[in-house]
Amino acid sequence: MENIKAYVQEHKDRFINELVELLKIPSVSADTAYSHDVFETADAVKASLEKAGCDFVEICETPGYPIVYGEKIIDKSLPTVLVYGHYDVQPPDPMELWTSPPFEPVIKKTEIHPEGAIFARGSCDDKGQMYMHVKALEYMVQSNTLPCNVKFMIEGEEEIGSKSLSWFVERNQEKLKNDVILISDTGMISNQQPSITTGLRGLSYVEVEVTGPNRDLHSGLYGGAVANPINALAKMIASLHDENNHITIPGFYDNVVELSLEERAEMAKAPFNLDNYKKALDLNDVYGESGYVTNERNSIRPTLDVNGIWGGYTGEGAKTVIASKAFAKISMRLVPNQDWEEITELFTKHFTSLAPAGVTVKVKPHHGGQGYVTPIDSIGYKAANMAYTETFGVPAIPVRSGGSIPIVALFEKELKSKTILMGFGLDSDAIHSPNEHFGIFNYLKGIETIPLFYKYFVELSK
Amino acid sequence: MENIKAYVQEHKDRFINELVELLKIPSVSADTAYSHDVFETADAVKASLEKAGCDFVEICETPGYPIVYGEKIIDKSLPTVLVYGHYDVQPPDPMELWTSPPFEPVIKKTEIHPEGAIFARGSCDDKGQMYMHVKALEYMVQSNTLPCNVKFMIEGEEEIGSKSLSWFVERNQEKLKNDVILISDTGMISNQQPSITTGLRGLSYVEVEVTGPNRDLHSGLYGGAVANPINALAKMIASLHDENNHITIPGFYDNVVELSLEERAEMAKAPFNLDNYKKALDLNDVYGESGYVTNERNSIRPTLDVNGIWGGYTGEGAKTVIASKAFAKISMRLVPNQDWEEITELFTKHFTSLAPAGVTVKVKPHHGGQGYVTPIDSIGYKAANMAYTETFGVPAIPVRSGGSIPIVALFEKELKSKTILMGFGLDSDAIHSPNEHFGIFNYLKGIETIPLFYKYFVELSK
């Protein structure tokens, strides 16, 4: 497929400019202040699919943000690939840490991206990776090399739990019928070493509220005599891990699958340099569950992290106050066989029981999703590996990722088909962080690799 | 002194209106955004002292906010009373909990204040209580009953540690020379039972910063593999108290004076109803150091409270992020003989040592002050007690307060004179909280009582 290389070279400036336009729309699904922009982004995605060559595209209303559905059916007897992606993005804050505004994309060269990377919220997660598929379709239509049917399902609530997506999938099983689901919303090891994500962690995300006195109090007149909600919250959070950094919630580990030493040895083969890892994050040391190494702690082991905490006086200077309330957002990453709803219940029961005298505790579940493991002997996996091998010159390594794409488990349950996670991002892309970026190399390489997946998937399906 | 009663009745509307005007200026010293208002308030105080009858008033520049100095010297051979107060106020937030805007004073009736109370930030702490002294002077000058010399020193940095005040006092010992210092910046037991604060707690206020990775990270990709600064901060804060709620900082209690059982029995005589206390705060129970009751925990015992905490994502919805930094404001209330600077060092040393692998910790001291105990056999205390007894019909009860007025210890050291704390506020006035208020009864009663202090102090000094 030399033509795709040439096509990408010929059109790369337009490909970049089109993505830049999409990145300018601040489609932050977590904050209703951006609601209008999220809808506008859906319209832009619809237009791009029509332009790329879909026969039919529609904006599907849901209880939440709409899902953009598009398809090109060339022959009902041929296989069908369902492409999933999301057009919503994470909130950009902390704004002050961005070196350029999150919704004013700029291309900057970095050590890892000598050809330049697009800096903008959503550049990698997931607008950039989603748009690779739109441009890959454009090529296959233009060059008349689309070997099968293709469907697109691009949602706008991935960053807030994909609630409307499950609602939509459950109601459109026939429309979404497919032979394989293709998603680019993960990363690879490096630009020299592609990898395919074969496992994902599940997620349970909750918000807790600790209430003490019915009003803020003067810490001099009341300090020591009433429970301080912030101190209480800190104590409760601290007790969620023991001295070995095991999570102390009763029953939390009951369904966790322990990997065999062989499997762990296989994992250990993936290239990893602890010193570089620490250096990249300016860490004096790593930290985590006893008995596991870094690459296990962030992939095959469940974890609990506070994602946000606030209470009392946080302004300039000093205020001697005992706050009435303290809050925290807490998320747990789960591994296959841990049911996120059960874990959410276990957390709620346990955390509420931790409340000391003088405070009351509320736990509000936000959202969650199941973990997932995909077999590496499937046609889909093989086709993806062949595509990577051809464009990168080396085969892809299967890796377990610590991230969560809850809907992958949903797809398997509702649509009965396997998902292939063809990620082209890098850990250093700073997704969910200030200065998120996506390499030009990665973006174009993705557009170049995806048509090969279609080719080999259809060949292997014969 | 029947005349004072009549004078207050005749002028009470004006007294209230003048205070209301002063309360409209948002003199928040902790937030530089209000800087202009703080200076404006100093000017207003200067004008009020001139109007009340001071011979000489000046705005004294300092490294920070100015100090308003005023005096009326009638006879150098007579005693001199130095009145101290502060014209700055606490930050008003959380704004959303105010039932009326903090700087738009309104008079509302409450159960405790059937005659109405002025609702505004600073109404009690300390503009209202400070202004009682201005109006008391006005009466004594108008009625020609001022029996001695009087000096006023009203500062604008009390809520942020009175840094410039100590600078000023050290440089003006002759100018500030006095026989007794009179302060109304504390409370009394109830409108039926006056009390005089004989002890104050010291204070050490610090801000801590915990830094983990050099940027916010995706909690899926990194969760479990790096130390989370928020979890680490929670763990460190939790470890500052043991299971008996004793503070675990090594050496923290070394200089704490244990009260005798007799002294504790004496304290226990002050009227206190635990059920009402809990009811007033909607608490299911009180909480504090084992071995001490509520009124001891908040007065004769040192404490440690988190006054504010923040880190990570605190906006609407969910963000799966591991923050790079987490912060907390922590204050310790100290008892006599605990040196605040030594305690600040002990805290810093200990807290820094608590940092787990993978995070670094910074401790930034904000400010502090020493505790204080005043003898009840002094002329000043006796004069105050006689004044209360005359206006309230019952003698005042000596009480140890949990609050801190760090400069009281400074005055004793630099000016060699004792301070009498004639407070007219109530615990329910919500100082430092939303809906701070000051009873009209208390305000007028203060104006009525203060001249009697002057009368008896001069008589007892003969």
Q: What is the ipTM of this complex?
A: 0.76
Residue B333: pLDDT over 80: yes
Q: What is the mean pLDDT of residues A2-21?
A: 95
Q: Out of B7-16, B84-93, B270-279, B386-395, which region has the weakest mean confidence (pLDDT)?
A: B270-279
The helix/strand/coil state of B4 is helix
Contacts of B280 (CB under 8 A, 6+ apart): B428
User: Taking Cα atoms as reference points, which of B368, B433, B424 lies closest to residue B19?
Assistant: B424
Closest Cβ opposite residue B219 in set A238, A294, A307: A307
* Tens digits of residue pLDDT in A60-93: 999 999 999 999 999 999 999 999 999 999 999 8
B166: left (phi over 0), alpha (psi -120 to 50) or beta: alpha
Q: Which residue has the tokens 């209000």?
A: B34
Residue A377: pLDDT over 90: no
Q: Which residue has the tokens 């503070």?
A: B247
> Pairing state of beta strands A195-200 and A397-400?
parallel
> Which CATH number does the domain B2-200+371-461 belong to among 3.50.50.60, 3.90.1200.10, 2.60.40.10, 3.40.630.10?
3.40.630.10
Determine the distance in angstroms separating the CA of B47 from the nearest CA of chain A, rounded to an integer.
29
Residue B3: pLDDT over 60: yes
Closest Cβ opposite residue B218 in set A30, A303, A431: A431
Helices B127-142 and B440-461 meet at what angle, rounded to 10?
Answer: 60
Tell me what pLDDT residue A2 has.
63
- How many Cβ contacts (< 8 angstroms) between chains A and B? 372
Tell me what pLDDT residue B1 has.
56
Residue ranges covered by each domain of chain B: 2-200+371-461, 202-256+302-368
Residue A165: pLDDT over 90: yes
Q: Which residue of chain B comes nearest to A186, CA vs CA?
A: B221
Rounded Cα distance, A197 and A373, in Å: 9
Q: Is residue B94 within 8 Å of B405, Cβ to Cβ? A: no
Residue B2: pLDDT over 70: no
First to last CA, chain A: 20
Binary contact (A281, B327; C-beta < 8 A): no
Q: Which residue of chain A comes nearest to B356, CA vs CA?
A: A287
Determine the distance in angstroms separating the CA of A107 from the nearest CA of chain B, rounded to an integer.
20
User: Taking Cα atoms as reference points, which of B87, B85, B84, B88 lies closest to residue B31?
Assistant: B88
Closest Cβ opposite residue B222 in set A223, A289, A298: A298
> Pairing state of beta strands B303-312 and B149-155?
unpaired
Residue B155: pLDDT over 90: yes
Residue A1: pLDDT over 70: no
Q: What is the mean pLDDT of residues B401-407?
A: 80
Radius of gyration of chain B (CA): 23
User: Taking Cα atoms as reference points, which of B278, B435, B13 lies closest to residue A357?
Assistant: B278
Closest Cβ opposite residue A234 in set B238, B303, B433: B238
Helices B35-52 and B2-23 meet at what angle, rounded to 10?
Answer: 160
Q: Token pair of B148, please?
A: 């001695």
Residues of chain A found within 8 Å of residue B432, distances taken between Cβ atoms? 216-219, 319-321
Rounded Cα distance, A438 and A441, in Å: 9
Determine the distance in angstroms separating the CA of A191 from the nearest CA of chain B, rounded to an integer.
18
* Tens digits of residue pLDDT in A388-429: 999 999 999 888 888 877 788 889 889 999 999 999 999 899
> What is the SS3 string spanning chain A?
CHHHHHHHHHHHHHHHHHHHHHHCCCCECCCHHHHHHHHHHHHHHHHHHHHHCCCEEEEECCCCCCEEEEEECCCCCCCEEEEEEECCECCCCCHHHCCCCCCCCEEECCCCCCCCEEECCCCCCCHHHHHHHHHHHHHHHHCCCCCCEEEEEEECCHHHCCHHHHHHHHHCCCCCCCCEEEECCCECCCCCCCEEEEEECEEEEEEEEEECCCCCEEHHHHCCCCCCHHHHHHHHHHCCECCCCCECCCCCCCCCCCCCHHHHHHHCCCCCCHHHHHHHHCCCCCCCCCCCCHHHHCCCCCEEEEEEEEEECCCCCCCCEECCEEEEEEEEEECCCCCHHHHHHHHHHHHHHCCCCCCEEEEEEEEEECCEECCCCCHHHHHHHHHHHHHHCCCCEEEECCCCCCHHHHHHHHHCCCEEECCCECHHHCCCCCCCEEEHHHHHHHHHHHHHHHHHHHHHHC
Domain B202-256+302-368 in CATH 3.30.70.360? The answer is yes
Q: Which residue of chain A comes nearest to B245, CA vs CA?
A: A224
Tell me what pLDDT residue B404 has.
78
* Tens digits of residue pLDDT in A306-322: 999 999 999 988 888 99
Residue B270: pLDDT over 90: no
Residues of chain A found within 8 Å of residue B226, distances taken between Cβ atoms? 281, 283, 286-288
Tell me what pLDDT residue B403 has.
81
Determine the distance in angstroms separating the CA of B197 from the nearest CA of chain A, rounded to an integer.
12
Residues of chain A found within 8 Å of residue B241, distances taken between Cβ atoms? 231, 235
Q: What is the mean pLDDT of residues B203-222?
A: 94
Q: Is residue B335 within 8 Å of B203, Cβ to Cβ? A: no
Residues of chain A found within 8 Å of residue B319, distances taken between Cβ atoms? 30, 90-91, 159, 307-308, 329, 432
Q: Report the 10 Å Cβ neighbour count for A432.
A: 27
Rounded Cα distance, B127 and B431, in Å: 11
* Tens digits of residue pLDDT in A261-298: 888 887 888 888 999 999 999 999 999 999 999 999 99
Determine the distance in angstroms separating the CA of B31 from the nearest CA of chain A, rounded to an integer.
6
Q: Out of B185-189, B240-244, B448-452, which region has the weakest mean confidence (pLDDT)?
A: B185-189
Binary contact (A93, B315; C-beta < 8 A): yes
Binary contact (A30, B235; C-beta < 8 A): no
Q: Is residue B143 within 8 Å of B383, Cβ to Cβ? A: no
Binary contact (A433, B301; C-beta < 8 A): no
Residue B115: pLDDT over 60: yes
Tell me what pLDDT residue A317 has.
85
Tell me what pLDDT residue B221 has.
86
Tell me what pLDDT residue A375 has.
82
Tell me what pLDDT residue B242 has.
97
pTM above 0.80, yes or no: no
First to last CA, chain B: 20
The CA-based angle A438-A439-A444, given to 5 degrees, is 110
Binary contact (B215, A311; C-beta < 8 A): no
Rounded Cα distance, B312 and A330, in Å: 11
Q: What is the mean pLDDT of residues A21-47?
A: 97
Tell me what pLDDT residue A372 has.
85
Tell me the pLDDT of chain A averaged across its residues: 94
